[in-house]
Amino acid sequence: MKTIKGPAIFLAQFAGDAAPFDSLRGMANWAAGHGYKGVQIPSWDARLIDLKRAAESQDYCDALRGTLAESGLVVTELSTHLQGQLVAVHPAYDLAFDGFAPAAVHGNPTARQAWAVEQMKLAARASQRLGLTAHASFSGALAWPYAYPWPQRPAGLIETAFDELARRWRPILDAFDEAGVDVCYEIHPGEDLFDGTTFEMFLERLGNHPRCNILYDPSHFVLQQLDYLAFIDIYRDRIRAFHAKDAEFNPSGRQGVYSGYAPWAQRAGRFRSLGDGQVDFAAVFSKLSQYGFDGWAVLEWECCIKDSEQGAAEGAPFIAQHIIQVASRAFDDFAASGVDDAANRRMLGLSR
């Protein structure tokens, strides 16, 4: 067993154009003031990191780490959620997802995908220079529009989509393998990897690639009504990153898992600040600790009710209170009798 690191915070939902949220130094001081020890950095936000420079310059990476160290922080992972999304985009979402990429590739899905792949490879090298071993991302989606289809899907449609998804990701995963960094896909509705079954379909097509791993976020499983604790039991060896985010699911006579087209605050399933939802975090932290997860517990704030500043302020102590300092010795060591192998055999009646 190992002790989870934390608390840490994902900066994406807090970054902005006003101080202290418009620079890495400002956000580092802010996060440290709330009690965080690490930050997960969105690699697309130029206010916080220059991804290309980070991939190419060790001096730049050393300076970035130095900036965080001044506030008593470290970088936990880089995130490429937006770029990873663009590795695989169904044409229905082309216009919406153009906003994740530079204007130069808007309206050109082929160029946009090539840009996203290059971004991922830059992130691999940047992670290596920063001394990181895990990286947070999305898989993108080719098959998602057909998740609950009418008319029925034609035979082979999903298989073809996953074959292509694996083909696109294999060279990226190879680049991360060269860098010694795990790609941790956030298992998330809207992505082709949205549950355990889809992750296994992807992993199989990649020949169980060692760098194909999971960012565990129980909130997405609450909204799907998937057993988020059993998920840890099944996929513990592939969980290499962890978002601590809460959620609740309250179905009614009007809404269920899909929640219609209601705004977030009116949905049956909605994200909440830590401690305000239904996730059993005592059990989550216990299972992750039991299985030896020693990565970071990273707050991801996405609440439709509570203000972000309050969510951030409450999140650090909540995570700190749930981190288990794993036992260094067995609780019943005091009663050890000190018998040896010969005595054990006698106790079992095997030496007669």
Q: Tell me the pLDDT tens digit for each residue of 182-231.
A: 999 999 999 999 999 999 999 999 999 999 999 999 999 999 999 999 99
Structure tokens at 15: 């970054």
- At residue 351 the predicted structure's pLDDT band, cuts being 50, 70 and 90, is confident
**Residues 278-314: pLDDT tens digits?**
999 999 999 999 999 999 999 999 999 999 999 999 9
**Can you tell me whether residue 290 is helix, strand or coil?**
helix
Please work out, in degrees rounded to the nearest 5, the angle formed at the alpha carbon of residue 109 by the alpha carbons of 104 and 111: 50
The pLDDT value recorded for residue 111 is 98
The reported pTM is 0.95
The pLDDT value recorded for residue 338 is 75
Please tell me the distance from the alpha carbon of residue 248 to that of residue 278, in angstroms, as a whole number: 5
Structure tokens at 172: 């990226």
Contacts of 347 (CB under 8 A, 6+ apart): 339
- Is 90 exceeded by the pLDDT of residue 264? yes
Cα of 158 vs its chain's centroid, Å: 24
Nearest of 160, 214, 220 to residue 190 by alpha carbon: 220
CB 21 within 8 A of CB 14: yes
- At residue 1 the predicted structure's pLDDT band, cuts being 50, 70 and 90, is confident
The pLDDT value recorded for residue 175 is 98
- Write down the architecture of domain 5-347 according to CATH: Alpha-Beta Barrel (3.20)
The pLDDT value recorded for residue 340 is 86
Average pLDDT, the chain: 96
Contacts of 155 (CB under 8 A, 6+ apart): none
The pLDDT value recorded for residue 327 is 79
Beta carbons within 10 angstroms of residue 119's beta carbon:
23
Cα of 279 vs its chain's centroid, Å: 16
Beta carbons within 10 angstroms of residue 229's beta carbon:
14
- Is 70 exceeded by the pLDDT of residue 335? no
CB 201 within 8 A of CB 162: yes
151: left (phi over 0), alpha (psi -120 to 50) or beta: beta
- At residue 90 the predicted structure's pLDDT band, cuts being 50, 70 and 90, is very high
Q: Where are the domains of the chain?
A: 5-347
Please tell me the distance from the alpha carbon of residue 270 to that of residue 249, in angstroms, as a whole number: 7
The pLDDT value recorded for residue 7 is 98
Bridge partners of 8, per DSSP, are 38, 298
Please tell me the distance from the alpha carbon of residue 290 to that of residue 276, in angstroms, as a whole number: 25
- At residue 179 the predicted structure's pLDDT band, cuts being 50, 70 and 90, is very high
Contacts of 146 (CB under 8 A, 6+ apart): 153, 157, 158, 161
**Residues 309-323: pLDDT tens digits?**
999 999 999 999 999
The pLDDT value recorded for residue 181 is 98
Beta carbons within 10 angstroms of residue 313's beta carbon:
15
